Amino acid sequence: MKSLRDLVDDCNNVPHSLDRWVAELNAARRQGADDDGPHGFAFLTADGVRVGLLSPPVTAALAAESDAITVVSATELEVTRHASDGADAFAARSQRLAAITARWRAASRFPALQGWRDELYTVYGAGGVPAFTVERAASGLLGVRTYGCHLTAYTLPVGAAHPHPDLHLWIARRSLTKPTFPGMLDNTAAGGLPFGQAPFECMVRECAEEASVSEEFARDNVRPAGAVSYYQRQDHLPSLGGVAGPETQFVFDLQVGDDFKPVINDGEVHGFKKVRVDAALELMRQGEFKPNCAVVLIDFLVRHGYITAENEPDYLEIVHGIHRPLEWEFPGPARF
């Protein structure tokens, strides 16, 4: 049985001294290497600002792309801004990275690209301005910050307020054929935030796509409630040799009545069930949830007074572990 702290630590498991961690990993690698070239972990930069962390195989592959990437040092690669890009370095960088990742996909260079989504993620650079876009399936390769939206739909007895022992949470089981975390438990609806869409619009769309919730109902009742952030080693991508993802999930609550029932729609979800809060906590502790979905539920239960300083010894470590200040490492959006 996992503690709540274990669940948070599973999700937020990159040491907070990122520079030191990377230096140690590279020092260990170099003991067996015969040169000091860009083959270890390296930071990816744009306009001199760090935007991602590359694993050794991706570092080596990107360093060879001399038209798009400048090798600044063994531990820093720069997404090149050519003089000819003029004002639109954003478009030029995005196009070059799109060409590279498409080529890697065609050559089956990285298994992660087999999950190609035809969906763009935005990577923010200096001043929170978009530096480039990248295909969603390739974002993990670049170790860039990514964003998503997660919804928790719940019922309370009529007239009851949080916290109440008869709180019920609608949880999803992921499709058994999903490439990542198949069959694990998930929040009511969730999805990655694509280029050009703001979080609320994304959440409303995902409600319809994943749970058949009408746009009108979602727009009137879905409530923004903050964000969780964590930095997680992507152990489900072992071929990348230790890549890590700094992720932010905008969280939304949706109180519904007993007549509400989410319905599967787009094949991402195997099915839904409504579970009492005590049973949900039990499932979390048994490790049944996709790790970041457990973190979203933990945040919900802290905000609504179910997890408290009195009943949870690791209360502050949990509150802080789910709100990692990722801006300390990489810029985020100045706005959506």
- For residue 221, the minimal CB distance to its own copies (Å) is 8
Out of 100, 227, 280, 281, name the contact with its own copies by CB under 8 A: 227
- For residue 100, the minimal CB distance to its own copies (Å) is 28
Apex 237 CA angle, 234 and 243, nearest 5: 50
Residue 180 or 308 having the CB closest to its own copies: 308
Out of 29, 109, 162, 233, name the contact with its own copies by CB under 8 A: 162
Read off the tokens for 247: 């992720």
Q: If binding is defined by CB under 8 A, does position 160 make contact with its own copies?
A: no
Mark the segment that binds its own copies (CB under 8 A) among 54-62, 71-79, 193-201, 274-282: 193-201
Q: If binding is defined by CB under 8 A, does position 313 make contact with its own copies?
A: yes
The amino acid sitting at 100 is: I
Residues 121-140 that bind its own copies (CB under 8 A): 128
Instruction: Note whether 203 and 76 are within 8 A (CB).
Output: no
Phi, psi for 237 (deg, rounded to 5): -120, 60
Residue 109 or 303 having the CB closest to its own copies: 303
Number of residues this chain uses to bind its own copies (CB under 8 A):
43
Out of 57, 226, 241, 242, name the contact with its own copies by CB under 8 A: 226
Q: What 3 state SS string does 41-58 have?
A: CEEEEECCEEEEEECHHH
Q: How far apart are CA 93 and CA 85, in angstroms?
A: 9
Out of 6, 9, 85, 317, name the contact with its own copies by CB under 8 A: 317
Residues 6 or more apart whose Cβ sits within 8 Å of residue 294: 7, 10, 11, 284
Q: If binding is defined by CB under 8 A, does position 82 make contact with its own copies?
A: no
Q: If binding is defined by CB under 8 A, does position 217 make contact with its own copies?
A: no
Q: Helix H segments across the chain?
A: 4-11, 18-30, 56-63, 89-106, 136-142, 199-211, 215-221, 277-285, 291-303, 315-321
Residues 6 or more apart whose Cβ sits within 8 Å of residue 305: 162, 163
Residues 275-304 that bind its own copies (CB under 8 A): 302-304
Q: If binding is defined by CB under 8 A, does position 20 make contact with its own copies?
A: no
Q: If binding is defined by CB under 8 A, does position 250 make contact with its own copies?
A: yes
Q: How far apart are CA 92 and CA 115, in angstroms?
A: 24
- For residue 163, the minimal CB distance to its own copies (Å) is 7
- For residue 127, the minimal CB distance to its own copies (Å) is 11
Q: If binding is defined by CB under 8 A, does position 328 make contact with its own copies?
A: yes
Instruction: Note whether 182 and 162 are within 8 A (CB).
Output: no
Question: Which residues of this chain interact with its own copies, rule CB under 8 A?
Answer: 16, 128, 161-163, 198-200, 223-227, 229, 248, 250, 255, 302-305, 308-310, 313-317, 319-321, 323-328, 332-336
